[in-house]
Amino acid sequence: MWVFGVVSAVPELTPLYESHVRANGSLDGEVFLGMASRWAARQGPTEPVTRLLSTLERDYARSGPKVRGIIEGSFVEPLAADPLAHRFGPNLRRAGRPHSLGHGER
Residue 102 belongs to some domain of the structure: no
Residue 105 belongs to some domain of the structure: no
Q: Render pLDDT for 30-88 as a digit per residue (tens, 0 to 9).
A: 999 999 999 999 999 999 999 999 999 999 999 999 999 999 999 999 999 999 999 99
Residue 101 belongs to some domain of the structure: no
| pTM of the predicted model as reported, rounded to 2 decimal places | 0.88
- The 3-state DSSP class for residue 64 equals coil
* pLDDT the model gives residue 96: 84
Residue 37 belongs to some domain of the structure: yes
List CB contacts of 5: < 8 A, sequence separation 6 or more: 55, 59
| Distance of alpha carbon 21 from alpha carbon 2, whole angstroms | 15
Tell me the residue range of the domain where 35 lies.
2-22+29-96
Count how many domains the chain has. 1
Q: Render pLDDT for 4-29 as a digit per residue (tens, 0 to 9).
A: 999 999 999 999 999 999 999 999 99
| Distance of alpha carbon 35 from alpha carbon 68, whole angstroms | 17
